[in-house]
Chains A and B, each alone.
Chain A
Amino acid sequence: MTEERDKHGERKVIITDTGSKLIGYLFLVIAAILVIQAITNILSAYGILPIGHIFTYLSGPSYIVDAIEGFFLINVITTLAFAVIAIVCTVGLLRLQEWAAGIALILMGLIAFTMVCHLIINPGLFGSVSLVLEIVAFGISILGSAYLAKNFKRYD
């Protein structure tokens, strides 16, 4: 149960059901996973964490290495951006906001799509830790999407 004020300044009590609470907190888990994934990817790329293979690609002609590093950093930045959006969505979903449900559906679709792309294009590039995290994020995303699709009216 949460409390907020409507446009007239009056108190409005929102009773959040268990399913919506769960999906909200799962989104917080997704955000945590994405942050951990971004950090482990950076640490593994520069050999601090001995996982994955990305550091074996950071050699060769400088312009090729620059391009690989560029793509890699874009990947990390995208992951962090997803994490920030996931945190915002968590707050919105717990308050049963329609916009949060809409953004959450899009975000979960993107996370699921990214996961499948990573599995096709670069399996093992970022290591098993990243793969496990991505599978968990994929699971939450696809199951959460199913729940949200069926319960979208709760957020009206």
Chain B
Amino acid sequence: MKKQRIFLFFTIVCLGLLLLVPSNKAAYSWDILAYDDGAADQYLTPVQNDSVAVRFSPPTDIFKISGMILYLNSSNLANVRVWILNSSMNIIMDPYIPSIIFGLPPYHIDFGDLGPIMLPNNVSAFYIVIQWMSAGAPDIGVDTSTHAGQSYRNISGTWQSYSVGNIMIRAQVEDINPPAFDHVPLQFAIAGESISLSMEVDDEFGVDSVTLYYRNSGSNSSFAPVSLALSGGTAKAGIWYGSIPSVNVTLLGLEYYLWATDLGGNSRYYRNATLPYTITVLEAVPEIPVYIGIIAIVILSVAALVLVFILPKYEGEDTK
């Protein structure tokens, strides 16, 4: 009975830990844009209606501004509000009052459905603005050790560049675009020889996995998966490589398609099970071994040398 209780206790503890610890995948599904080093060197104490902003250079792909991280010295967020401006200083997210957060800073504020989706063509920058609505609001951290130039302060309705350092506001952007493929399909293969396939897969936030699905042409069996490996470049723009085993390369031919997922959980097919690529498999022609070519070169070269020594040098004039 005692052992059962201990077992039950450990099971509950383990389940609790599983729920508490976020998975790596979730942790990388977004990107943090930051200009500070994460350590507040001093704090800025604004008065009522003062506001500060940080100008962010966004990713070039489509993305969503899903949240922000604030470095405050208090958890009293009830007296501040947040909104987002585009590069033309137009409001793209209406003022939002974050709920009170308990615990130690920094504070993560999730915008939820309010977070604007940005297209790559219409955004060169965006500003996250935080305004103090009443006195007694928390101070905000300032990092003086990093290069200034991204932060602004609005005093009495006038925006001024903040030259002391970086005001510690970070943006959280979320990937909403699936990976993109660059792949010229293989058209021919040789029976009994393994097939190597490679492709470039790009994603603004990083590719998580690429899978190749294949089967023999005309077969009713399900497509067999092969996980491709990143063989060059980075997860954001890399070449993925994998192979189909030689035993599966028969004269029946092959069909294949590709599937990739990114770190944001978005996925994209490159063709699919109903419209796969087709590889025509050709019968292998016996090849001449390379050593025969080498032997031929050596024999012919020796024959040429012999010819040079044997042939008499022409000295006379034969034309009339």
Identify the A interface with B (CB < 8 A): 13-15, 17, 47, 50-51, 53, 55-56, 58-65, 96, 115-116, 119, 123-124, 127-128, 131-132, 134-135, 138-139, 142-143, 145-147, 149-154, 156
Q: Which residues of B contact A131 (CB under 8 A)?
A: 288, 293
Least CB distance, B246 to chain A, in whole angstroms: 12
Least CB distance, A105 to chain B, in whole angstroms: 13
Identify the B interface with A (CB < 8 A): 182-190, 193, 195-200, 239, 280, 282-283, 285-288, 290, 293-294, 296-297, 300-301, 303-305, 307-308, 311-315, 317-320
In the complex, residue of chain B having the shortest beta-carbon distance to the beta carbon of A1: B320
Contact of A56 among B188, B199, B311, B318 (CB under 8 A): B188
Least CB distance, B183 to chain A, in whole angstroms: 7
Tell me the dominant secondary structure on chain A's binding face.
Answer: helix
Least CB distance, A92 to chain B, in whole angstroms: 14
Verify B308–A150 contact, CB threshold 8 A: yes
Known: A61-B198, A119-B294. A127 touches B308 (CB 8 A): no
Known: A135-B293, A142-B300. A17 touches B318 (CB 8 A): yes
In the complex, residue of chain A having the shortest beta-carbon distance to the beta carbon of B277: A59
A152 to B280, CA, bound (A): 53
Q: Which residues of B contact A63 (CB under 8 A)?
A: 182
Q: Which residues of A contact B301 (CB under 8 A)?
A: 142
Contact of B311 among A128, A132, A147, A156 (CB under 8 A): A147
A54 to B308, CA, bound (A): 38
Verify B311–A146 contact, CB threshold 8 A: yes
A-B contact sample (19 more), CB < 8 A, given A142-B303, A146-B308: A14-B319, A17-B318, A50-B190, A55-B188, A56-B195, A58-B186, A58-B187, A59-B185, A59-B187, A59-B197, A64-B198, A115-B297, A119-B293, A123-B293, A124-B287, A124-B288, A128-B287, A131-B288, A135-B293
Least CB distance, A37 to chain B, in whole angstroms: 14
Least CB distance, A43 to chain B, in whole angstroms: 12
Q: Which residues of A contact B182 (CB under 8 A)?
A: 61-63
Verify B320–A15 contact, CB threshold 8 A: yes
Verify A149–B308 contact, CB threshold 8 A: yes
Q: Which residues of A contact B193 (CB under 8 A)?
A: 56
Known: A50-B285, A59-B185. A124 touches B290 (CB 8 A): yes
In the complex, residue of chain B having the shortest beta-carbon distance to the beta carbon of A150: B311
Interface pairs (18), CB distance under 8 Å: A13-B320, A50-B190, A50-B283, A56-B189, A56-B193, A56-B196, A58-B186, A60-B199, A62-B183, A119-B290, A119-B294, A124-B287, A127-B285, A134-B293, A138-B297, A143-B303, A146-B304, A150-B311
Verify A59–B184 contact, CB threshold 8 A: yes
A30 to B239, CA, bound (A): 42
In the complex, residue of chain B having the shortest beta-carbon distance to the beta carbon of A14: B319
Q: Which residues of B contact A14 (CB under 8 A)?
A: 319
Contact of A127 among B287, B296, B303 (CB under 8 A): B287
In the complex, residue of chain A having the shortest beta-carbon distance to the beta carbon of B312: A150
Verify B197–A135 contact, CB threshold 8 A: no
Verify B290–A146 contact, CB threshold 8 A: no
A152 to B308, CA, bound (A): 12
Q: Which residues of A contact B287 (CB under 8 A)?
A: 124, 127-128
Q: Which residues of A contact B282 (CB under 8 A)?
A: 47, 50
In the complex, residue of chain A having the shortest beta-carbon distance to the beta carbon of B194: A56
